[in-house]
A and B are shown apart, each in its own frame.
Chain A
Amino acid sequence: MKVAKNDPLKIFVPFVNERMAGDLFSKNPNLRDVDVNLIDNRGRSAGLPELYNEIIEKHLGEDAWLFFVHEDFEVQGELFDTKNLAIEAIYGTFGVKLKGHVPVSFGRHKCSEKDGTSVLQVGLPVTSPTWVETLDCVAVMVHTQLVRDRPGLRFDEVLTFDLYAEDLCINAQENFGIPVLVLPVEFQHYSKGFVTERYWRGVQYLGEKYPNVGVPGSCSFIGGKSQELEDHFTYDIPANRKKRHTREARKV
């Protein structure tokens, strides 16, 4: 197992809400000693995979941990130590895996509205790196050596804002045999994400891209075999409820 001893950790935060990014990152005392890079995406409105790939290409020459996070992600405790982490893995802070036929999410955190109201506790707590099938897009971390050695392991730019982390995880596992893990960190996600049409288009795209895969995602099963998994379990998250009702109504 290759371990990166003292490689620096760099956080990259594309933002459209400057105040939020400033409050949650620049002024965050838990990130005082960390290299935080805020990337203004207001003018360009580029898809996050595109931005992340650009960052990867830019940093390929050095050995570092690249931590891609959303602007509404707040670290509320001590950040994990990267000293003994295996290089050949993809890390995140919230992910899902199947236990039997049931998806179980790992990485306990608070999930709230943008203004911090309606706080929900989500996911099972983890105390050490815990393997999962897919990660949520909110936070993804890779080592430059991992992506340097594998030019095919990049974010899919067809997916602009949703499911790119899930795609990266499936790609890493299916084509490179790279494990995916959730790291223990205390955080709050200021987004009770609602599932959009764009998300379902993404699910459809991934179904076609990985016809022989069926894995649990944060909001639905993903891959060509997701229908088989849905025979045993139906996601019942609030974000999906409206969508499901609409679908059922349409069917009738």
Chain B
Amino acid sequence: MPSLERNKAEVVRRTGFTFSTISNLIENHDVISFDVFGTLLASYLFSPDGVLRYMEQTLGVDGFAAARLKAELLARRRFGTREAPEASLNEIYEVLSVLLPSHGVTPGEELEFRKSLAYADQSIGLLAKVAREKGKRVIGVSDTCLDKAQLSNLLDSHGIELDVLYTSLDHRRDALGNVNGRIFPHVAEREGVAPHRILHLVENQSNDLENALATGLTAIHVRAPHECMKQDESPFVQINCGENTLTEEFIQGQIAARMPQVDPKEPDLYSYGFNVCGPLLLGLCDFVANRAKQDEVEQLLLPEHQGYIVGQGLKILQLPVPKVSTIDTNKVLSDSPSAVSDTEQKHLRRHIENVIGQRKQNVAVLDIDCSLPTFGSEARPYMYWYCLIGQRGSGDGSNTSAYLFDELSAASIEMFETNVVEPVYLLFSKSNSECGESTPSSAENSAAKWVRGLAAQCVQRGALDFLRAISPSKNVINRRELADYNRQCFLRLTARPTEREHCAFEGVPLNIDGGEKARRTIGASWKPEIATPQNSTSLRGQDDERQLHNYELLLPNAIKQLSLRDDIGQLNWFRIMFRHPLKVSYWNSVRRYLRRKKTRLGHK
């Protein structure tokens, strides 16, 4: 549950005004009006066709999303007018029945899908709450394809209460719409107040905002959560970098709904946990559950230190997994994994056999970093090893499968391992909450472990919060798309983290006992190329283009045309200027222009 401070911070981010300013505005107006979608209600699938694509996928109706979009366009033309272009859901489905005769989907079903993918926006909901506390009327003004009854149903299902709801669709006959702004005087009249006594919070900047302002309403633009996330260049969020799959959009919708980066109480490591490790943990838990089912595993063994977070994840997600047991590997493995002796291996095996008991059954061991020794071939039919990254070779006689990079080459895995392994394994590190330590015990190493535990705790909290958020609607997620998304996220983080992302890990101690002091934090050992923020790059590019454009405006047309000659690159300038000495300045201008063009565009 996001805190009050966090919600206030989000209001500031999304409106561009301080919370006290908005609060004062609410105080000074009689009616507080909300453009329902994008303010009080938001959707986890934020693209215009997101819900439709999900319906197509779930209902198995090929071509549904494109046809439904087209049907809406046509229905607006057929049933609407230029002044009131809205079309109802029933009208859209009437056209759809011609475009896609065999679709078999009803408007009611679409409404149910929209309901399941929408959520009540808590930060804007806070404004409604403040308005109520101040005794103001809270109303909704909407211009979608939903009529009053449908929209009320949608709002009720998310616990949003409004005093009254005005929809353009219900006033289509009188052409009272948001598009032409005629609905606002109508609302003022019905509410019995002057337009300037209404505070209108609106997501649609182009029509509603301008029309509301023109009518005399105090209108404030509220950025949609996903827009806000995109414009703010939030850390650990990868927007529009993948294949724009439903899974990707849904995960980003979850991140936009929580916006951990605006929470003043949470550090960036929490954002890392929520935005990056959350989807990873979701994918890993799903992978473990799925593999266990495929391998007919009857018992799943989780090593005590690494398996804690996965065990928690499986519990939250309520995935169908076999009996889960914990094995305390510390009791049998004293040294680092690379130096496991034969005796220790036997001990581990005996330990596992003790846990399994006498019954011969298929058992899977979760071995996140492939640090546990695998058993020989005689145990093979009954033992499976599930890892995060496919590190173990197939020829070592073990049934190993990895969630990420199972089929990639050793070189790619090595690249991943050397660059991003520490941030990833932070999720699976022992956290302080797990071992119940409140202060470091004594020595320097313990202190480092304790600080690392704090960082791990933060990351794990973020990841588990993500799972809690996504758990009710986890069915939207496609397994393959999620694995691709996770892979892309980590590859991006490996290749070019932003400065803020890199700084988040800078002070986190490495998971090593002793060694070089200089390499004791993740920041000191992981030195990737830092990405420049996209906005500043594009701003610089725009600036360069503007300068070039200004230069071109001053340039004579003859020089511009000359510079477009195909053979301009092969010209011998010295010779040309020698042959035409009176045109030296002319040729120099051409050369200067070409040089500028090359520098500016090259720079961009």
Contact between B70 and A177, CB atoms less than 8 A apart: no
Known: A131-B67, A131-B70. A181 touches B76 (CB 8 A): no
| B133 interfacial contact with A, CB 8 Å | no
Segment among A19-27, A168-176, A239-247 that sits at the interface with chain B = A168-176
Q: Which of B74, B94, B97, B99 has the most CB of A within 10 A?
A: B74
Contact between A179 and B566, CB atoms less than 8 A apart: no
User: Cα distance A1–B100 when bound, in Å?
Assistant: 12
| B79 interfacial contact with A, CB 8 Å | yes
Contact between A179 and B94, CB atoms less than 8 A apart: no
Known: A131-B67, A131-B70. A177 touches B98 (CB 8 A): no
Contact between A179 and B99, CB atoms less than 8 A apart: yes
Cβ-neighbour of A174 out of B67, B77, B94 (below 8 A): B77
Chain A residues within CB distance 8 Å of chain B: 1, 86, 88-89, 99, 128-129, 131, 173-179, 181, 252
Residues of A contacting B97 with CB < 8 Å? 1, 86
Contact between B77 and A131, CB atoms less than 8 A apart: no
Contact between A177 and B79, CB atoms less than 8 A apart: yes
| B58 interfacial contact with A, CB 8 Å | no
Contact between B101 and A129, CB atoms less than 8 A apart: yes
User: Cα distance A73–B66 when bound, in Å?
Assistant: 31
Cβ-neighbour of B98 out of A89, A176, A252 (below 8 A): A89
Closest Cβ neighbor of B79 among chain A residues: A177
User: Cα distance A86–B96 when bound, in Å?
Assistant: 11
Cβ-neighbour of B99 out of A174, A175, A181 (below 8 A): A181
Cβ-neighbour of A177 out of B67, B77, B102, B566 (below 8 A): B77
Contact between A178 and B102, CB atoms less than 8 A apart: no
- Give min CB distance, A97 to chain B, whole Å: 8
Residues of B contacting A128 with CB < 8 Å? 101-102
Chain B residues within CB distance 8 Å of chain A: 66-67, 70-71, 73-79, 94-95, 97-102, 566
Contact between B99 and A177, CB atoms less than 8 A apart: no
Residues of A contacting B70 with CB < 8 Å? 131, 179
Q: Which of B70, B97, B102, B566 has the most CB of A within 10 A?
A: B70
Known: A176-B78, A178-B78, A179-B74. A131 touches B99 (CB 8 A): yes
User: Cα distance A176–B75 when bound, in Å?
Assistant: 9
Residues of A contacting B79 with CB < 8 Å? 177
Closest Cβ neighbor of A86 among chain B residues: B98
Contact between A252 and B566, CB atoms less than 8 A apart: yes
User: Cα distance A131–B66 when bound, in Å?
Assistant: 10
- Give min CB distance, B109 to chain A, whole Å: 18
- Give min CB distance, A78 to chain B, whole Å: 19
User: Cα distance A181–B76 when bound, in Å?
Assistant: 19
- Give min CB distance, B76 to chain A, whole Å: 7
Residues of A contacting B100 with CB < 8 Å? 131
User: Cα distance A76–B349 when bound, in Å?
Assistant: 74
- Give min CB distance, A126 to chain B, whole Å: 12
User: Cα distance A252–B97 when bound, in Å?
Assistant: 50
User: Cα distance A177–B76 when bound, in Å?
Assistant: 7
**25 examples of A-B residue contacts, CB within 8 angstroms:** A1-B94, A1-B98, A86-B98, A88-B98, A89-B98, A99-B66, A128-B102, A129-B101, A131-B67, A131-B100, A173-B73, A173-B74, A174-B77, A175-B77, A176-B78, A177-B74, A177-B75, A178-B74, A179-B70, A179-B71, A179-B95, A179-B99, A181-B98, A181-B99, A252-B566
- Given A86-B97, A177-B76, A177-B77, 5 more A-B residue pairs with CB atoms under 8 Å apart are A1-B94, A88-B98, A129-B101, A173-B77, A179-B74
User: Cα distance A202–B100 when bound, in Å?
Assistant: 31
Q: Which of B71, B73, B97, B99 has the most CB of A within 10 A?
A: B99
- Give min CB distance, B483 to chain A, whole Å: 24
User: Cα distance A252–B565 when bound, in Å?
Assistant: 8
User: Cα distance A131–B102 when bound, in Å?
Assistant: 13
Residues of B contacting A181 with CB < 8 Å? 98-99
Closest Cβ neighbor of A133 among chain B residues: B70
Instruction: Report, nearest first, the 8 A-B pairs whose CB atoms are least far apart.
Output: A177-B78, A177-B77, A177-B74, A86-B98, A131-B99, A1-B97, A179-B98, A179-B99
- Give min CB distance, B563 to chain A, whole Å: 14
Residues of B contacting A88 with CB < 8 Å? 98
User: Cα distance A99–B67 when bound, in Å?
Assistant: 12
Contact between A177 and B95, CB atoms less than 8 A apart: yes
Residues of B contacting A178 with CB < 8 Å? 74, 78
- Give min CB distance, A179 to chain B, whole Å: 5
Residues of B contacting A129 with CB < 8 Å? 101
- Give min CB distance, B77 to chain A, whole Å: 3
Residues of A contacting B77 with CB < 8 Å? 173-177
Q: Which of A86, A173, A177, A178 has the most CB of B within 10 A?
A: A177
Closest Cβ neighbor of A98 among chain B residues: B66
User: Cα distance A131–B68 when bound, in Å?
Assistant: 11
User: Cα distance A179–B96 when bound, in Å?
Assistant: 9
Residues of A contacting B101 with CB < 8 Å? 128-129
Residues of B contacting A173 with CB < 8 Å? 73-74, 77
- Give min CB distance, B299 to chain A, whole Å: 48
User: Cα distance A252–B568 when bound, in Å?
Assistant: 14
Closest Cβ neighbor of B96 among chain A residues: A179
Residues of A contacting B99 with CB < 8 Å? 131, 179, 181
User: Cα distance A178–B95 when bound, in Å?
Assistant: 8
User: Cα distance A181–B63 when bound, in Å?
Assistant: 14
